[in-house]
Structure 1
Amino acid sequence: MIRRNDKVNVLSTVDYNRVRNFIMENARALDVRVFAYLFENGSQKEAAEELAKFQNEDGGFGHGIEPDIRMPDSSPIATTVGLQYARKLKLTGGHRIVRKALEYLNSEYDESITGWHLLGKEVNDHPHAPWWSYDHEKGHCGVHGTWANPNAEITGYLHEYEGYVPNELIEKVTQKAREELGTLPEEMEMHDFLCYKRLMESVQSPFKEEIEEKLKKAVRKITKLNPGDWEGYGMKPLQAADSPASPFFPLLKDEVKENLHYEMEKLREAGYASPNWSWFGKYEEEWVHAEKDWQGHLTVELLKTLKEFGCLDD
């Protein structure tokens, strides 16, 4: 475990307050409430109320909760983001937000692929990142890849809230997740890794250990280990091992420590975290808003990670 006597820097109170002010003045109300819940004994109920504003009547999430997808319509990929927030807020399966989201996923399940499609053609009617554009000839969006994204992650939520999901559905997608895990190369795509990582955090043994074993073989091969690569898009050490308790931390300890220094220096300099991607000149006016949404979200996420590693001043 990294501790302060391992000479990891600590974010000063002055720097922390500067970052806090950025969140309060610039982040979405949802991320402000999540920050308050995580760091200031804020209300879970108030944070959940903000989360519910991104949920549609059908139970799915939209309305830009995934800032690169601005459409109001529900989609499975946006619903995974909504459930990531629900997990952070420790909402139970009986909570209306979670229950509705599970009902949506149950209704969107496609037996022919034993899973869910990322999103539909409606995305083209609204501002979005270029990689989310729907290709009518191929019948899917540009980032469509393996089954893992988003299906492995969704399978994890079905296990986490298993009392609110049909057992038959859980059994089918879990078997599919096992099969797909075996087909993934060790140099898997980063989002496949992250989706299986989220599944691993919810599933029980022995499948949990099967996933962990596969991801451990992959982690050093697909993580950007060189600080010179961290400005570009790719998985950084802190994404793979986001706490000292992570099973991937022992495999990346030196790189995690260096990544902590790197992220804190950038945070001290700017006062917030920023995405290391853009929309490449498309929907430029809307990207200004999406980028700010990302900045608020990523800043809260970074502070959460720094707290896990003991890098915030008491």
Structure 2
Amino acid sequence: MSPILDRAHDFIFKNARLLDRQLFAYLFKGGSKQAVIQALAAYQNPDGGFGNALEPDKRVPDSQPVDCEMAFHILEMIDAFDHPCILQACGFLQRISTPEGGVPTALPSVMNYPHAGWWNTPPDPPASLNPTAALAGMLLQHSVRHPWLDRAIPFCWQAIAASESTEYHDLLPMIAFLQHAPDSVRAQAELQRIRRRIEENQLVCLDPNAAGYVHPPLDWAPTPQHWARNLFTDADLQADLEHLLSKQQEDGGWPISWTPVSLAVELEWRGWKTVQALYTLRAYGVEVS
């Protein structure tokens, strides 16, 4: 293994969740895809949804929409989006959808357990593009058919057209949907509107020394295939790749840029972030193994 991967290996196997250990092993060490799926299954509830702090900043065991999104991302990373748990999760999403056809960012059960302040949720939360659009985008990308998607698509179109949000966590799900939306002409018009919003509001952080919860180019375009790749010059991306490499810590892991709920949660996030950093570096051709 390279020094980068060797150090990350030590951090992952000392500190990360079983899920992230199995994901790391599959992606970088020839490990078992089935082992990743088995580890992920522990986060899926009998209602078909995912919970149990798969997204670590909320410790609620009950199923949550964002945890379903994270599960979808993991299955995408290991090329297992045809697994039956996808349709089971869609059934959960259908049951929790609002009359508009989308799902809330979080369900009220999050309030019964320790959670970060940004997960505070009202008793009757509205549908949100985050994560509805991200979930719908992945289902469209992989040609998954489910009745939930039939109602989520119109919701996404309407909500995107009405939105002027400059929030990263709103815009990235919009892009995920529009990249794979059924009406490509309409999607391109909305993507150009989003591009202007990103550029005019200077939403991308190009300063490698910026502190806090900022979003550099690779947050927007984690792989070269992402639509946001075209927002940046080769020099922008090369600089950010070098900066991402430099952020590997002495213990071999990558840091997070927000205050976690607990020390254990910080390690859970850092395990996930470390796998994601290596995944992005390799996607852009950086030799990590």
After TM superposition, the score normalised by the length of structure 2 is 0.89
Structure 1: distance between partners of 2:87 and 2:205: 37
Indicate how the Cα distance of structure 1 residues 105 and 293 shifts in structure 2: closer, same or farther if over 3 A, else same.
same
Give the SS at the match of 2:248.
Answer: helix
What displacement does 1:268 show?
5.4
Q: Is the 8 A contact 1:15 1:268 kept in 2?
A: no
Provide the identity percentage.
26
Q: Is the 8 A contact 1:48 1:89 kept in 2?
A: no
- State the match for 1:297 in structure 2: 272
Mapping of 1:224-263 within 5 angstroms?
224-229=205-210, 231-253=211-233, 254-263=235-244
Letter in 2 for 1:23: I
Structure 1: distance between partners of 2:91 and 2:142: 12
Matched, 1:190 2:168: yes
Q: Structure 1: any 5+ residue segments left out of the alignment?
A: 1-11
- State the match for 1:6 in structure 2: none
Letter in 1 for 2:95: S
Structure 2: distance between partners of 1:211 and 1:91: 30
Structure 2: distance between partners of 1:39 and 1:48: 16
Mapping of 1:7-26 within 5 angstroms?
13-26=2-15
Deviations 1:24-82 (A, max 9, x none): 22111111111122122221111101001000000111111000011100111221111
Q: Structure 2: any 5+ residue segments left out of the alignment?
A: none
Q: Is the 8 A contact 2:102 2:129 kept in 1?
A: no
Q: Is the 8 A contact 1:102 1:164 kept in 2?
A: no
After TM superposition, the score normalised by the length of structure 1 is 0.82
RMSD, matched Cα: 2.3
1:124 to 96, 106, 111: 111
Structure 1: distance between partners of 2:113 and 2:159: 32
Give the SS at the match of 1:271.
Answer: coil
Letter in 2 for 1:256: L
Letter in 1 for 2:104: H
Indicate how the Cα distance of structure 1 residues 212 and 245 shifts in structure 2: closer, same or farther if over 3 A, else same.
same
What displacement does 1:219 show?
3.5
Structure 1: distance between partners of 2:102 and 2:59: 23
Mapping of 1:216-227 within 5 angstroms?
216-220=195-199, 221-227=202-208
Matched, 1:213 2:201: no
- State the match for 1:104 in structure 2: 92
Structure 2: distance between partners of 1:219 and 1:41: 38
Q: Is the 8 A contact 2:58 2:115 kept in 1?
A: yes
